[in-house]
Each structure stands twice: as structure tokens, then as C-alpha cells.
Structure 1
Amino acid sequence: MPNLITTLGHKSPAELGMILPHEHIFVDLRTWDTPGYAQAEVEDVIQLMAPEIAKAREVGVTAIVECSTIGVGRRVDIDLAVSKATNLPIVIPTGIYREPWVPDWAHAASEAKLAEWMLSELQGEIEGSGVQAGWIKLSAGDQGLTACESKILRAAATAGRETNAIIGSHTIQGRVVRDQLNLIEKMGYAPDRFIWIHTQKEQDFNLHLEMARRGAWLEYDTIGDNDEGDLQNILRLLDAGLGDQLLLSHDRGWYDPALPGGGIPKPYTYLSDQFLPKLRAEGVDEGTIRQLTQDNPYRAFAR
């Protein structure tokens, strides 16, 4: 039976409720060669983020998917410490962000070596932490895939095909998602194991429909930024019978070491407190709410 692979071990559906599929505990959006990049004291992160996680738990959140990967400050040791301090399971990614955040070692590595590295984290542990990666997080440039980003995506398709790990990609342009799906299909990897992260950023709704009908997951993950637009599109997808491919989240948190004291975190509670009541007011039933907030994220990330 598939399980969610988290910082607190493997979790079954019976152990979980609401899962937020796109959030951050710790992130650094500076490039990897910036002085102080991804540096912070673990206790400082716990002090800032534990209250936000406590608030999330109060509204029913039972697990969070961490989306900070290589290139944007992945710190699995910090995620693990926060997870243990709050008793909240966190799903950690392997994978690499887009250029110019791709580190030199990844530019130099072959496709085979990148796939081997991802497999080592998906099947073993990340950086000696004892934490197994649960999924693969990538990105693509707004103008299209670069040669390096394509190499990373092909490596991810190889690793994902062997482990059934889902690939999620921060991709703003729908036409670039089309190119990504074409590439992974050629690698023998199914589109239904691919998440289009930040789908809501694409203004052409026909591209949302196109990618969903090819099998990809659509992730509306800045809930709280544009409720009117998100509500309209979500209702259209439900009407089209595509609700079982839809993920909802905030893209919030987080401790940022580039800011004094880690910055001011944004709460993980808007979806529960504000947005779900709006869906209910539009006639969305409780079974569909459960599907969107519990069943779908579990099916997407479990393996």
C-alpha cells in the first residue's frame, strides 16, 4: 500500500487528515554563491515557525509538503528539527531548482549521475539526515527549458519511473509545461505523476484544461492572493470532472535567512479559515472538500 514518506516516517491515510501540498518551512531565494546562503540557527527557525505550525494544526492540518529544494535553500536538518519539535510530518524533496539557482556541481554532472543522486535520496536518505526524500521538486525558466533544466528533468523522470515518486515543477508558462510533459513521456514517465506547480499563474485557462486532460495534476498554490480568480477556475475544473487532479495550497511560511530574524512568516491557515468556506458557499459539498484537501494530496505524494 502506498505511504506518505515524511520526516516522521511513513504515514498511512488513516493517520492523516488535511495535507498542504505546497508550503515552506525554510527557504533562501538568493543564489547558492551568496555569502550566508541558507545559514541559520536551528533554534531560531523553531522559535519562529513552531507557532505557525501550531495554528495550522488547530485548523486540521496534519502534514506539510516542503517545497524548498536544492537551489532555494533546502535544509533537511532544519526541517527535521522543526518537525520533531512540533510533531508535524513534513515531506521533503530531492531535485534542483531552475537557472540561475542551479549549483555548479549540477551543471557539471551527467544526466546519469543526477538520476543516481536523486535515487539515493528517494530510496535511502538525504545528506546523512536519516530522512528519506518523498518526492522530486524542479523548476523551468519562463521562456522555456534550458539544456541544463532539460537534463535535470530527464534525470528526474528516470528516478521517478523507478520509485513512483511524483515530480512537481515550478513552471509559470503553460506552453513550457507542454514541453515538460512531452519530454517525460518520451522517458517513459506518466503525466499523471507530474504536478504543474503554480498553475494559477497561467492566464490561459485552456492550458489548464489541456494539461489536466493529459493527466497532469494542477496545483493552485497561492490561495489567498486571488480568491475570485481561483474560485472561478476551481469551479470550472470541478464542473469538467477534473477535481481528482487538483491540489490546493498557500506557498506560505517561512524562515528566510536573508531577512532579519528570518522575516515575518505568513500563516498556513487561510485555506481552512477563509477559502474553504467560500467553496462551500458556492455549493461544493463536503466530500469534494475532503477530496481536494486530503485524498488528492495523499494520492499525489504517496508511493
Structure 2
Amino acid sequence: MSGVAINRFSRRKFLKAAGAAPLILMDFKAQNAFINTVDGKIKPAELGPALIHEHVLVDFIGADKISSDRWQHEDVIKKVLPYLLEVKKKGIKSIVECTPAFIGRDVRLLQKLAVASGLKLVTNTGYYGASDNKYLPAWAFTETAEALAARWISEYENGIDGTNVKPGFIKTGVNSGPLSALHQKLVTAAALTHLKTGLTICSHTGPALPANQEIEILKKLGVDPKAFVWVHANGTREEIVNTAKSGCWVSLDGIGDEDKSVTANGELILFLKKEGFFNQLLISHDAGWYRPGEPGGGEFRGYTTISDKVIPYLKANGLREKEVQQLMVHNPANAFTVSVRKL
């Protein structure tokens, strides 16, 4: 389909923050291409400038204790909405909300925040095995990969938690060392879900070793690594380049407000651009984090460092206007467009 114009107000604000010239419209080949948001399907070009790894609420009490009774929507909205409105003023139009099931995923809350903020929010299906399986439900240990995939596929087909909200991606997570048998099963389930639904697989991973093992599992099942987002990608530059050669998405999603973080991530982005991997890059903050059980939801970190510091840093070091668009608009839309990607 031909590109759909990005909302003009959001576009102007984003460009003002980033110091960029007018964005080029996106051009997707598939007439029926779409991305799932909590408010339904949108055309990929409607995603606009996006942050691809953020959180509204996270609850680390554990899968055996978590309950939505531990937070009140009104309290969360009061705390979080100003931060969403702040980043919207910077020109960000969409946020991929990465909180998985059993760590605080609440799609009804996300729907309310989407309406109140005017942002497009994307949620997920899948289970999170990192942190030594504390956030896995009991059945994740005993069911087959096929059975777990059937649960996730059902959320895609029928909606999450009795709602009409469909996931926009698969979220899983593994420990930072070699993949355990359990985590291999989670990745297998994610691959099977992708082949049925076309949802992109985002896996909390970290180092290159488990990332490469995940990619090998996907490839053995016929899933193109282009369907895989290497979340929290880190390691030596050589390790990152070697893993990126698979075609996977490289997600630099822990950008902090400190100058050291801005500079380090900015330098890595420019290095990966020079190496030819710019079209595989995704960036975000991994920020937010309303925490139930803490007074006032605890300390909440906003979502504006990329707009305020990272984009200006990149432009000061030679990034052109069309490359800002590639990084903030094209790459997120390409990554999260629902499409089965087979080898």
C-alpha cells in the first residue's frame, strides 16, 4: 500500500525535538499489512515515531502471587498519564509496552491509557523465563511447546483476558547464559506461535551467546531471524555484528538519561550504521515501571531521553534527516508489522 501520512501535529513535534526535516512517508508492499494495537489493527505507516520497549506497570512479586487486585487503574493512570502526554508532545506517536503476562500485563489499563493519551499502545503474548523462571506460571514447566503456543495463539485469535485486545508481538525472556531446556521450549513455543500468527518475537536476552542459540532454534523450525528482536542486545562490537549478520533486529533498549549512556548508545548506533546494520536497529529506554506495593507506585522514569538527547547527539555526529526517520519510524513499523517470515 502507499504510505499513510503521519499525524501532522505529532510529526512536527517529533521533528522539532529531533532537529529533522519532514519525514518521508512509508511504503509497504502488502495492501493488507497491519500492526495490532490495544485499540485494534492499524496500518504500519500509522505507527509513526515509536518507542519499541517501554513499560507502564511492572509487578515483580512472582507468578504465583501476582493479581490485578494489587493495583488500581485510577492510581496508575494518575501517575503514568503525565509521562505519556510528555512524550507525545515530543512527537512520539506509539509505544510498544513490553510487560509480559504474570509481571503486570493489564490490557484494560492500557486501553484506558491509550484513550487518555492519544498514543497507540501495543501489547504482547508469551511468557518470560528470565530471572530464573520466577515469572512463569506453573503450567509453563509441564506443558509442551505446542501446548504453550496454543495458549498464545488463542490470545491472538480470541483476545487477551476476555477482552477483544489482540497481542501485537510475542514477548519471552531467557537467562543470560546458555539456554536451559525450559528456555529452549519457550523459544520453540514462540517460533510455533510466529508461524501461525506472524507476530514478531521479542526475547529479553542480553548477551550474544543465548541470542545466537535462540536464532538457531528459530532457523531449525523454519523461522527467518528477521522475525526475532534481540532485546537488550549487548556484548563486544564484534559479537553484536556477528549476531546481526543473521538478519535479526538489534534492540538497544536500555538507554538511560545519563550522558554516559547517551554517548555509549549513540556511538554504537553510529558504528552499526557504518557496518551496514542500520535498518536492523531499534532503540528505546526500557523506562516507566509503576510498581504496585511501593508508595505512589515508586520512582517512575520518563520516556523522553531519546527525543531530548539521543537524536540530537546522532544528528550532531552526522545522522541525516532521512536516517532519523529510518530509526524512529521505518524500523519500528517494519519490525512489528504482522507477517509470517519463513526461511
The answer as to whether partners of 2:44 and 2:337 remain within 8 angstroms in 1 is no
Separation of aligned partners in 1, 2:68 and 2:207? 28
User: Is 1:115 aligned to 2:162, yes or no?
Assistant: no
Unmatched segments (≥5 aa) in structure 1: none
* Aligned counterpart in structure 2 of residue 182 of structure 1, from 216, 226, 229: 216
In structure 1, the residue matched to 2:177 is 143
Deviations 1:39-87 (A, max 9, x none): 2001111111110010010001111101100232212222222222222
2:341 aligns with none
Moved more, 49-58 or 263-272: 263-272
CA contact (8 A) 1:23 1:67 kept: yes
2:248 is aligned with 1:216: yes
Q: What is the CA distance between 1:37 and its match in structure 2?
A: 7.3
Shifted more, 256-265 versus 36-45: the winner is 36-45
Q: How much has 1:264 moved relative to structure 2?
A: 2.5
Summarize the Cα distance change of 1:291–1:248 in structure 2 as closer, same or farther, 3 Å threshold: same
Counterpart of 1:20 in structure 2 is: 51
> 1-side partners of 2:213 and 2:154: how far apart?
27
Amino acid at match of 1:30: I
CA RMSD, aligned part only?
1.5
| Distance change >3 Å, CA 31–CA 37, structure 1 → 2 | farther
Q: Partner of 1:61: helix, strand, or coil?
A: coil
Q: State the Cα deviation string for residues 105-155 of structure 1 (Å, max 9, x = none).
A: 221222111111111112221111210011001111122222221111101
Aligned residue for 1:65, secondary structure, equals: strand
Distance 1:74 1:16, change over 3 A: closer
In the TM superposition, 1:165-204 aligns within 5 A as 165-199=199-233, 202-204=234-236
- Contact 2:36–2:122 (CA under 8 A) maintained in structure 1: yes
Aligned residue number for residue 68 of structure 1: 99
Work out the CA distance in 1 between the residues paired with 2:176 and 2:74: 36
Structure 2 CA distance for aligned equivalents of residues 197 and 258 of structure 1: 27
The match for 1:162 among 193, 196, 199 is 196
- Which of these residues, 127, 131, 141, is aligned with residue 161 of structure 2? 127
Aligned residues: 301
**CA contact 2:128–2:136 (8 Å) conserved in 1:** yes
- Give the Cα separation in 2 of the matches to 1:187 and 1:14: 30
Q: So what's the TM-score if we normalise by structure 2?
A: 0.84
8 Å CA contact 1:111–1:154 kept in 2: the answer is yes
Cα deviation for residue 30 of structure 1 reads: 2.7
Residue in 2 that maps onto 1:86: 117
Is the contact between residue 122 and residue 163 of structure 1 (CA under 8 Å) also seen in structure 2?
Answer: yes
SS of the aligned residue for 1:218 comes to strand
Contact 1:67–1:137 (CA<8 Å) still a contact in 2?
yes
CA distance in 2 between partners of 1:118 and 1:36 (Å): 20
Amino acid corresponding to residue 105 of structure 2 in structure 1: R
Moved more, 284-293 or 260-269: 260-269
Unaligned runs of 5+ in 2: 1-31, 339-343
- Taking the aligned partners of 1:59 and 1:233, their CA distance within structure 2 comes to 23
For residues 238 and 121 of structure 2, what CA distance do their matches in structure 1 show? 33
Say whether the 8 Å CA contact 1:26–1:79 is kept in structure 2.
no
Match status 1:275 vs 2:310:
yes
Bigger Cα displacement from structure 2, 218-227 vs 231-240: 218-227
Match of 1:207 among 232, 239, 264: 239
Q: Tell me, yes or no, if the aligned pair for 1:28 and 1:257 is still in contact at 8 Å.
A: yes
Q: How far apart are residue 259 of structure 1 and its match? A: 1.5
Q: Distance in 2 between matches of 1:72 and 1:187?
A: 28
- Provide the TM-score with structure 1 as the length reference: 0.95
2:324 to 269, 289, 293: 289
Residues 245-302 of structure 1 deviation map (CA, whole Å, 9 limit, x = unaligned): 0001010113111311111211111100111000000000010000000110011011
One-letter code of the match for 1:12? K
| % identical equivalent positions | 34
